[in-house]
Amino acid sequence: MGIAWVLPAVLAPVDWYAVARGDRRTESWAKPATLVALVAVALLLGATDTSAGAWLLAALVLSLVGDVFLLGDTDTRFRLGLASFLVGHLAFLMSFARLGLDPASWAWLAWIVLGTCLLATRRVVPATFARGGQALALPVAIYTVVIGAMVILAFDTGEPLIALGATIFAASDSTLAVNRFVEPLPWAPVAVMVTYHLGQALIVAGVLAAT
């Protein structure tokens, strides 16, 4: 069933290239299309056969909704996208929990991942408060807690692919937050999308392999 991965493997680089060139027209369809392709992969590989897979599908669909919202640049679109991804991460948590938690000897690495992300994003919440007050800063702070929990549970599944995917996903979100609210990073837009798609794909592969 490796052929199922061909479509997202083709679409994701199209989106990366569009982002690198600032081609918003191509990005507007390539970005959501990549998540649609990952949903198709999950369906083809039997995600509906297990509760962990069903929750994975829910997380992917919510991520797709978040992607569409984040195609806009306003703070309102950002908050809507943030809300979609927050609920999506809760769905990931449920998926990981349904797999059964069996922490490996390396599960403690999750705390290094979290510490690194918190260090990199330490100025994000103050910056969001300065920009939009509590209405923006509070959702960002809550999201940070939820994705942190997602990373911990990902490592606690004992599945290396899931742990690696969650780590890369967290790196993507951290880069996006710093670039949007703290300081512009010229390499960030492409880095965010590459790590986001790789993180999602690894989580999908890990969950499906474990079911």
| Helix (H) and strand (E) counts in the chain | 9, 0
Read off the pLDDT of each residue in 36-45 and give the average, rounded to a whole number: 96
Read off the pLDDT of each residue in 51-59 and give the average, rounded to a whole number: 98
pLDDT > 70 fraction of the chain, expressed in percent and rounded: 100
Euclidean distance between CA atoms 68 and 34, whole angstroms: 12
* Each residue's pLDDT tens digit, 88-125: 999 999 999 999 888 999 999 999 999 999 999 999 99
Alpha carbons within 13 angstroms on the beta-carbon side of residue 12 total 19
At a CB cut-off of 8 Å and minimum separation 6, what does 21 contact? Answer: none
Euclidean distance between CA atoms 97 and 110, whole angstroms: 16
Of the ranges 57-66, 67-76, 90-99, 148-157, which one carries the lowest mean pLDDT score? 67-76
* 83: containing domain: 2-210
Contact 41, 50 (CB under 8 A): no
| pLDDT grade for 211, boundaries at 50, 70 and 90 | confident
Tokens 């991460």 map to which residue? 89
75 pLDDT more than 90: no
Residue (of 94, 34, 132) closest to 141 by Cα position = 132
- The count of domains in the chain is 1
| pLDDT grade for 74, boundaries at 50, 70 and 90 | confident
Q: Which long-range contacts (CB under 8 A, 24 or more apart) does 66-74 make?
A: 67/31, 67/32, 67/35, 68/32, 71/24, 71/27, 71/28, 71/31, 71/32
SS (H, E, C) 117-169: HHHHCCCHHHHHHHHHCHHHHHHHHHHHHHHHHHHHHHHHCCCHHHHHHHHHH
Read off the pLDDT of each residue in 29-42 and give the average, rounded to a whole number: 97
